[in-house]
């Protein structure tokens, strides 16, 4: 009887730890998804055009923006002028489309750097203030200020890059979330452990001590 009690208590503790591990994995995987998700704002390249999205951040974050538009057929060395204004609950920054990045097939990708009087400062602080995106639920609104005639009227999109990426950490404040990129193998291990605990629980329930001889 004493051995059965010890086994039941041990199983209860193991089930509790297993449930806690599953809960941590579930919350961590969801938080990792939010922190590594790239959000896209589609709009038309014409002065006054706007686009807005809702943003969630766990820590005050900076703006990381990337422009995408269809190949305009112009020379690869040319970079048609484009200026955007980014507004958040705590910041308002003007951005300029920089040189093309990578191949132009199927879309052209261009970085967006903040406009500042000093060129070195604009490059170094190209993402705007660090607290441009406050912690929690906020919003980001983009407005087209100026656009080169070669791009006017074209469909485009701006990617709001996440603070985390699969191959690198954009922000070290999110280091605690990086292990949850591997939630699938951990989930498989927990599934196997849960199967073992379930088997042990069923075996313990069916097990009955032999009656003592009279």
Give the CATH number, domain containing residue 77. Answer: 2.60.120
Does residue 213 fall inside a structural domain? no
Does residue 214 fall inside a structural domain? no
State residue 125's pLDDT score: 41
Does residue 212 fall inside a structural domain? no
The verdict on 53 and 86 lying in the same domain is: yes
The verdict on 29 and 43 lying in the same domain is: no
Domain housing 190: 2-33+180-206
The verdict on 129 and 49 lying in the same domain is: yes
* Averages of pLDDT over each 10 residues, the chain, 214 residues: 74 92 93 88 90 90 85 63 90 84 71 67 45 87 90 88 70 78 90 90 72 52
What is the number of structural domains in the chain?
2
State residue 24's pLDDT score: 94
SS3 for the chain is CHHHHHHHHHHHHHHHHHHHHHHHHHHHHHHHHHHCCCEEEEEECCCCCEEEEEEEECCCECCCEEEEEECCCCCCCCCCCEEEEEECCCCEEEEEEEEEECCCCCEEEEEEEECCCCHHHHHHCCCCCCCCECCEEEEEEEEEEEECCCCCCCEEEEEECCCECCCCECCHHHHHHHHHHHHHHHHHHHHHHHHHHHHHHHHHHHCCCCCCCC
The verdict on 200 and 94 lying in the same domain is: no
The verdict on 25 and 44 lying in the same domain is: no
State residue 118's pLDDT score: 46
The verdict on 46 and 127 lying in the same domain is: yes
State residue 188's pLDDT score: 94
The verdict on 118 and 131 lying in the same domain is: yes
């Amino acid at each position: 009887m004493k051995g059965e009690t010890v086994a039941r208590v041990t199983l209860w503790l193991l089930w509790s730890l297993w449930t806690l591990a599953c809960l941590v994995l579930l919350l961590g995987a969801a938080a990792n998804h939010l922190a590594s998700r790239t959000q896209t704002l589609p709009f038309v390249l014409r002065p006054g055009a706007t686009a807005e999205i809702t943003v969630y951040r766990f820590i005050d974050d900076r703006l990381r923006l990337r422009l995408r538009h269809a190949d305009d057929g112009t020379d690869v060395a040319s970079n048609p002028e484009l200026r955007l204004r980014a507004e958040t609950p705590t910041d308002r920054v003007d951005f300029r489309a920089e040189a093309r990045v990578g191949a132009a097939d199927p879309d052209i990708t261009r970085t967006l750097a903040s406009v500042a009087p000093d060129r070195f400062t604009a490059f170094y602080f190209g993402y705007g203030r660090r607290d441009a995106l406050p912690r929690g639920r906020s919003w980001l609104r983009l407005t087209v200020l100026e656009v080169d005639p070669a791009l006017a009227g074209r469909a485009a999109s701006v990617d709001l890059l996440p603070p985390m990426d699969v191959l690198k950490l954009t922000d070290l404040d999110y280091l605690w979330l990086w292990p949850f990129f591997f939630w699938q193998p951990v989930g498989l291990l927990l599934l196997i452990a849960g199967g073992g605990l379930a088997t042990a629980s069923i075996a313990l329930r069916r097990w009955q001590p032999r009656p003592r001889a009279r």
